């Protein structure tokens, strides 16, 4: 994302197009329409492709933008430039309202929910008196600068494409930032993101608003291009079409939205003007062909056209290595030896009739490696989830440095300096190792979305990336820093998770089966790393099945079986404990 | 308001609600088994209704030809998919189900259309035609995408909807049609008048809900469908042909859609594009039912029908607004009650 050159070239080409001699005016109209659709599609890229939130309702936000300026500039005579911020604010604040209701929905409820309110709003547009009902509002004043009125499609062309290119830049800046990483992590479920302090409902709402504001901008431009609005272009069909544009172009890519808009707008135009010549006399043939082509396209390239095109370009190798001399603020650690860091007292978790964790008590001291072992289903991962706030305990208490957690959410627990890895790796496969690890430092950065869009976050960002790079080097994956996380072996992905957890600057590190999938040498490296961390003042609580690994590493071992603690002690005493042997090997009848 | 109007509205709402319930059930079924959010469900409704109305009026419906064309397409897809291991039985089976069957139905349709057939024959023919369209549609449009995300399937579903709606205009024209009542006659109970048609609607809806319940609870195919819905890969490993499950789901959905259409068209004039909105109201019911529960969907559909009836009486301008905005509080409740831990998906 660093290279600005292609964008500059693109901007120059777009700026030059109207000056090409003999350019048919109709093509400019098409380009105007492409730009308008691209703005909406770009928002959808962020919302659907990147954030994983499918919305059919974007057309309604275009409608909000268009109607706001239509009403204000006709009935109240406001200047279009004054209505621009108002249009954006109206779309944005309605997005907050609708978003608060909708973004919490998961899976397929969300698209259906957006479809429903998209339709509802469409009918509202066509029934409200002050919006002109089905006839809409006409005689909207054109945009003007001084005495120059943008009356022709050719004159508003620049306004549209400046908006498109600026929005693309801002959107790409946003994605390439602290907030952007949080957004990109949304699609992979929220457990991992929340474990590092990302407030996922807020992040979802943010992309929702961003998409709505872009749609509102498109609506504002539309109103001043057409100089009239009516409900038709803001209905469910249009909402579906915008989503279609994003998917055709490549839903994960900002420029995919622009490309998709170009493909769909041109295709529709071609179908509308040439099909009747081929098949005269028939009604909606272009809709039929359009629908069929859509299905065919998805069968041939389900990922969209943009990534398919990009795969022909030579692969860009590596990014710049961050300047690791930059330092983030460190957590102030309580001095002193052997204080109790984590205290679990009679923690209990019931799922219906199943008692997954049954009144388990244990503690972790400062500078100590404690292993939690037990057969499958013993309740180890559930205990982890209780400590990290993913699950709330049925009863009992868990405290950190004497402070009770009281079922605080994961975002709060990580602030106390407890970070974790997951039994089933939860990385974002299409982000680089560096970006994945930087999510761990989320709470240690401060730049918000606006600062990120305007690139005011670079100093903050450089420090975050430096910290991430430092932790990647520490775990020994410096060579893989710029590879996509999904391309690493499972064992390496587990190590990436450890680096990400280290980015929190934790006091206590919770590792869920860190050695699974590692080779012998890698396990030894991991053990060495964990001892170093302990010696550096960190405590480690780990779940592990590899007994050789555990016995050599842990200072103390807690054994669970069927949710109950059956033993606790040093490796030597655990090895000979008859209860433990019975749990693992069964007992001779 | 007086009691008569209220009773009348409730009755009207229940009749419409019963239809939405059927459509909601079909949507739940298809989504659970194939992960396709079936937007073309509405087209099954209009195709069923307008095929029935055309046949009853002695006109030749274009849908029969579409079924044959899609069948040929499905045959081509079958051949292409099996190109590495072609053998006679496979080809024969494909030819029989995809070409011979719609061919025979087309011939029958041509034969009967010329002589204004009785209602029963119209119903059977339109059901068979739409059922075949549903079946082949799955083969041609959705089976090749079975492995992709819900979003891609959804967009494909939109594509199919657009194509079918365009074809609907081509086949039936822009004029609305009405069909003859399935069951004529009526009786009155107190202030209410029950037509044979509305009794048919109730009867068929109840029969379908019970039938689906029995099918999924007791039969092996039903259980296989449920297994596919829960875990596609697991079902395949257990020897269930997931494509067969998908075909059955689409077959049922198209039959249900067509049947709903046939039941509505004597009551309301239907146009080639009426299905979309009717289908969406089924959606609203299905979402309220959480896309998983059949009984809840049925109850929700009745509720949607009644709300619609009352709002068209009191605020007819805002009828659609009210029905679709109904979802917002439901979604709000659902999101508050949503489970805390959600496993990641791709």
DSSP string, A219-261: HHHHHHHHSEE-SGGGSHHHHHHHHHHHHHH-TT-HHHHHHHH
How does residue A319 score in pLDDT terms, banded at 50, 70 and 90?
low
pLDDT (0 to 100) of residue B131: 94
The mean per-residue pLDDT over the stretch A428-452 comes to 89
Among A60-64, B46-50, B331-335, the range scoring the smallest mean pLDDT is: B331-335
Q: How confident is the model at residue B138 (pLDDT cuts 50, 70, 90)?
A: very high
Q: State yes or no: pLDDT of B339 exceeds 50.
A: no
Q: pLDDT at residue B341 above 50?
A: no
Mark yes or no for CB contact A54/B165 under 8 Å: no
pLDDT at B291 (0 to 100): 62
* pLDDT confidence of residue A498: 93
pLDDT exceeds cutoff 60 at B340: no
Residue-level pLDDT at A161: 93
In chain A, list all ranges with CATH 3.40.50.300.
337-417+506-589, 424-505
Report residue B342's pLDDT band, with 50, 70 and 90 as the boundaries. Answer: very low
Question: What integer pLDDT is reported at residue B338 of this predicted model?
Answer: 54
The complex scores an ipTM of 0.82
Kindly report, as residue ranges, where domains of CATH 1.10.3470 are found in chain A: 5-269
Contacts of B143 in chain A (CB under 8 A): none
Q: How many angstroms separate the CA atoms of A165 and A172, rounded?
A: 11
Mean pLDDT of chain A: 86
Query: For residue A420, what pLDDT band results from cuts at 50, 70 and 90?
Result: very high
pLDDT at residue B135, rounded to an integer? 93
- Residue B190 backbone phi and psi in degrees, to 5: 65, -125
The pLDDT score that the predictor gives to residue A59 is 92
Q: What is the mean pLDDT of residues B265-289?
A: 82
Q: What is the mean pLDDT of residues B97-124?
A: 88
Strands (E), A388-430: 395-400, 403-404, 418-420
Residue B343 has pLDDT above 50, yes or no: no
Which of B151, B156, B280 is nearest residue A54 as measured by Cβ atoms?
Answer: B151
Q: Residues B304-325: what's their mean pLDDT?
A: 80
Cα separation of B230 and B34, whole Å? 10
Which residues in A lie closer than 8 A to residue B335 (C-beta atoms)? 101, 104-105, 109
Tokens found for residue A564: 């109950």
pLDDT classification of B1: cutoffs 50, 70, 90: low
Q: What is the DSSP letter of A454?
A: T
pLDDT of A434: 92
Decide which of B241 and A538 is more confident: A538
Distant-in-sequence, close-in-space partners of A95: CB < 8 Å, separation ≥ 6: A61, A208, A209, A211, A212, A213
Q: Across A294-303, A533-542, B5-14, B234-243, which has the greatest mean pLDDT?
A: A533-542
The full set of domain ranges for chain B reads: 3-334
Q: Among positive and negative, which fits the CA dihedral B190, B192, B195, B200?
A: negative
CB atoms within 10 A of CB A484: 16
Q: Using one digit for the tens of pLDDT, what is the confidence trace for A126-141?
A: 888 888 788 888 888 8
pLDDT at res. B45: 92
Residue B344 pLDDT: 37
Which of A295, A352, A391 to probe by mutation at the B interface, max B CB count within 10 Å?
A295
Cβ contacts of B345 on chain A, cutoff 8 Å: 107, 189
Contact B324 A107 (CB under 8 A): no
Does residue A321 have a pLDDT over 80? Answer: no
Smallest CA–CA distance, residue B292 to chain A, in Å, is 11
Average pLDDT (B160-170) is: 89
User: Domain spanning A337-417+506-589 has what CATH number?
Assistant: 3.40.50.300
Q: How many CB atoms lie within 10 A of CB B148?
A: 17
With pLDDT > 70 as the criterion, what percentage of chain A qualifies?
A: 95
- Identify the pLDDT of residue A106: 61
Asked if the model's pLDDT at residue A107 lies above 70, the reply is no
Contact A69, A140 (CB under 8 A): yes
pLDDT of residue B117: 84
The tens digit of pLDDT for each residue in A65-77 reads: 999 999 998 888 8
**Residue A279: predicted pLDDT:** 64
- Higher local confidence (pLDDT), B183 or A460: A460
Chain B residue nearest residue A293, CA to CA? B159
Q: Is the pLDDT of residue A250 over 80?
A: yes
Most confident listed range (A107-121, A347-361, B182-196): A347-361
Contact across the interface for A284 and B141, Cβ inside 8 Å: no
Residue A219 clears pLDDT 90, i.e. is over it: yes
Q: Which residue has the higher pLDDT, A558 or A279?
A: A558
Q: Which residues contact A291 (CB under 8 A, 6 or more apart)?
A: B158, B159, B160, B161, B162, B163, B164, B165, B166
Q: What is the pLDDT of residue A334?
A: 59
- Residues A377 and A347 sit within 8 Å (Cβ to Cβ): no
- Average pLDDT on B290-309 reads 79
For A246, name the nearest residue in chain B, comparing CA atoms only. B155
How many helices and strands, by DSSP H and E, does chain B display? Answer: 15, 2
Task: Select the CATH number that applies to the domain covering A5-269 from these four: 1.10.3470, 3.30.519, 1.10.10, 3.40.50.
Answer: 1.10.3470
**Residue A21 tokens, joined:** 């001699």
Q: Indicate the CATH number for domain A424-505.
A: 3.40.50.300
Counting one residue from A and one from B, how many pairs have CB atoms under 8 Å apart? 161
pLDDT in tens, A388-414: 888 888 888 888 888 888 888 888 889
Candidates A112, A190, A288; nearest CB to B283: A112
Q: In this predicted structure, what is the pLDDT of residue B46?
A: 93
Would you call A101 and B37 a contact, using CB atoms and an 8 Å cutoff? Answer: no
Q: Check whether A359 has a pLDDT greater than 60.
A: yes
Whether the Cβ atoms of residue A380 and residue A373 lie closer than 8 Å to each other: yes
A352 - beta bridge partners?
none
For B:112-151, CB contacts with A below 8 A are 141, 144-145, 148-151
Nearest to B320 among A102, A123, A426 (CB): A123
Give the pLDDT band (50/70/90) at residue A292: confident
- A160 close to A221: Cβ distance less than 8 angstroms: yes
pLDDT single digits (tens) A225-246: 988 888 888 887 788 889 888 8
């Amino acid at each position: 994302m660093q290279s600005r050159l292609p964008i500059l070239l693109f901007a120059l080409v777009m700026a030059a197009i109207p000056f090409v001699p003999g350019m048919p005016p109709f093509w400019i109209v098409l380009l105007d329409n492409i730009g308008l659709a691209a703005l909406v599609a770009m928002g959808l890229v962020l919302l659907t492709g990147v954030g994983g939130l499918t919305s059919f309702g974007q057309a309604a936000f275009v409608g909000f933008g268009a109607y706001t300026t239509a009403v204000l500039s006709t009935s109240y005579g406001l200047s279009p430039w004054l209505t621009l911020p108002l249009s954006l604010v109206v779309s944005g604040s309605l997005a907050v309202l609708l978003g608060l209701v909708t973004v919490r929905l998961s899976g397929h409820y969300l698209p259906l929910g957006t479809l429903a309110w998209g339709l509802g709003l469409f009918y509202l547009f066509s029934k409200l008196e002050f919006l002109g009902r089905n006839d809409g509002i006409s005689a909207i004043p054109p945009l003007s600068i001084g005495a120059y009125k943008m009356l022709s499609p050719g004159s508003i062309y620049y306004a549209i494409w400046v908006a498109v290119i600026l929005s693309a830049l801002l959107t790409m800046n946003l994605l390439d930032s602290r907030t952007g990483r949080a957004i990109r992590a949304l699609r992979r479920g929220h457990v991992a993101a929340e474990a590092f302090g990302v407030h996922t409902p807020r992040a979802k709402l943010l992309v929702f608003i961003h998409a709505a504001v872009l749609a509102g901008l498109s609506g504002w431009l539309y109103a001043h291009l057409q100089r009239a609005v009516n409900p038709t272009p803001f209905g469910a069909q249009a909402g579906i079409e915008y989503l279609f544009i994003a998917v055709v172009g490549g839903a994960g890519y900002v420029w995919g939205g622009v490309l998709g808009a170009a493909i769909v707008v041109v295709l529709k135009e071609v179908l509308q003007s040439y099909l009747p010549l081929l098949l005269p006399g028939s009604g909606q043939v272009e809709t039929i062909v359009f629908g069929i082509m859509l299905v065919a396209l998805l069968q041939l390239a389900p990922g969209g056209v943009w990534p398919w095109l990009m795969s022909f370009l030579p692969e860009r190798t590596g990014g710049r290595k961050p300047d690791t001399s930059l330092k983030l603020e460190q957590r102030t650690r309580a001095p002193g030896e052997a204080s109790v860091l984590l205290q679990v007292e009679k923690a209990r978790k019931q799922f219906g009739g199943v008692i997954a964790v049954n009144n388990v008590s244990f503690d972790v001291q400062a500078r100590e490696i404690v292993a939690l072992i037990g057969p499958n289903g013993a309740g180890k991962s559930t205990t982890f989830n209780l400590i990290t706030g993913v699950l709330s305990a049925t009863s009992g208490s868990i405290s950190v440095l004497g402070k009770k957690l009281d079922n605080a959410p994961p975002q709060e627990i990580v602030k106390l300096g407890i970070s974790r890895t997951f039994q089933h790796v939860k990385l974002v496969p299409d982000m680089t190792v560096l970006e994945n690890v930087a999510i761990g430092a989320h709470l240690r950065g401060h730049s918000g979305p606006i600062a990120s869009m305007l690139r005011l976050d670079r100093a903050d960002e450089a420090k975050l990336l430096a910290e991430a790079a430092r932790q990647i080097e520490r775990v020994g994956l410096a060579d893989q820093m710029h590879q996509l996380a999904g391309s690493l072996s499972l064992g390496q992905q587990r190590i990436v998770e450890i680096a990400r957890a280290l980015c929190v600057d934790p006091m206590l590190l919770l590792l869920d089966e860190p050695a699974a999938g590692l080779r012998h040498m890698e396990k030894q490296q991991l053990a060495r790393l964990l001892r170093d961390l302990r010696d550096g003042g960190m405590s480690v609580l780990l779940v592990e099945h590899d007994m050789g690994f555990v016995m050599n590493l842990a200072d103390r071992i807690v054994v669970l079986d069927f949710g109950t603690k059956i033993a606790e002690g040093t490796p030597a005493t655990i090895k000979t404990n008859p209860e433990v042997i019975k749990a693992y090997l069964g007992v001779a009848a | 308001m007086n009691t008569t109007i209220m009773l009348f509205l409730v009755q009207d709402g229940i009749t419409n609600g019963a239809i939405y319930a059927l459509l909601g059930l079909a949507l739940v079924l298809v989504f659970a088994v194939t992960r396709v959010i079936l937007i073309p469900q509405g087209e099954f409704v209009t195709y069923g209704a307008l095929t029935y109305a055309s046949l009853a009026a002695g006109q030749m419906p274009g849908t029969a030809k579409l079924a044959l064309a899609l069948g040929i397409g499905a045959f081509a897809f079958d051949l292409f998919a099996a190109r590495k291991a072609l053998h006679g039985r496979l080809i024969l089976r494909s030819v029989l189900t995809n070409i011979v069957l719609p061919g025979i139905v087309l011939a029958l349709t041509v034969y009967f259309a010329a002589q204004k057939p009785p209602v029963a024959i119209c119903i059977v023919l339109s059901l068979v035609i739409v059922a075949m369209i549903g079946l082949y549609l799955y083969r041609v449009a959705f089976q090749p995408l079975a492995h992709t995300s819900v979003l891609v399937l959804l967009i494909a579903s939109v594509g199919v909807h657009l194509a079918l709606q365009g074809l609907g205009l081509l086949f039936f024209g822009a004029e609305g049609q009405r069909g003859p009542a399935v069951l004529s006659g009526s009786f009155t109970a107190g202030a209410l008048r029950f037509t044979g048609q509305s009794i048919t609607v109730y009867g068929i809806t109840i029969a379908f809900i019970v039938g689906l319940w029995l099918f999924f609870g007791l039969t092996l195919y039903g259980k296989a469908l449920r297994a596919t819905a829960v875990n596609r890969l697991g079902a395949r490993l257990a020897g269930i042909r997931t494509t067969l499950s998908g075909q059955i789901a689409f077959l049922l959905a198209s039959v249900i859609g067509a049947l709903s259409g046939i039941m509505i068209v004597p009551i309301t004039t239907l146009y080639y594009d009426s299905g979309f909105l009717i289908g969406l109201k089924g959606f609203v019911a299905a979402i309220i039912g959480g896309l998983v529960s059949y009984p809840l969907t049925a109850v929700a559909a009745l509720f949607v029908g009644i709300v619609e009836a009352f709002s068209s009486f009191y605020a007819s301008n805002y009828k659609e607004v009210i029905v679709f905005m109904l979802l917002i509080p439901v979604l709000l409740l659902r999101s508050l009650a949503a489970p805390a831990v959600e496993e990641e998906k791709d």
